[in-house]
Structure 1
Amino acid sequence: MLELLSLKDLCEALVSQRFDSVHDAEHALDKFEELTTPARVLVILDQLEMARHG
């Protein structure tokens, strides 16, 4: 679930534009793209399903 929390934090930072430089913002967008690929989303969904059925 740590991945999900970091994605949430990343989304909040992107929305509020809390970056010290353009480079930091670009890095955050790259990370967002990495975390939201279809394969990564499937991993997150699997983690949620496992947590639910524990």
Structure 2
Amino acid sequence: MSQTANTEDTIDLKELFFSLIAQWKMIALCVLLSIVCALLYLRTTPDTYAVDALVQV
């Protein structure tokens, strides 16, 4: 049982880079949406820390 299929385990970085550049609008939209969601989360959640200090002389 010999396979004649030629399989390559390499990654073409140039092809990967250009496929990402082709979808720059979608990437920018996702980044912008993530930033907006993070800012809304930070503005709406209450602070969960408290500081209490006692100085004894």
Interval containing the TM-score (normalised by the shorter chain): 0.3 to 0.5
Greater RCO (Cα-Cα under 8 Å, separation 6 or more):
1
Q: Which has the larger radius of gyration?
A: 2
Using the size of structure 2 for normalisation, the TM-score is 0.43
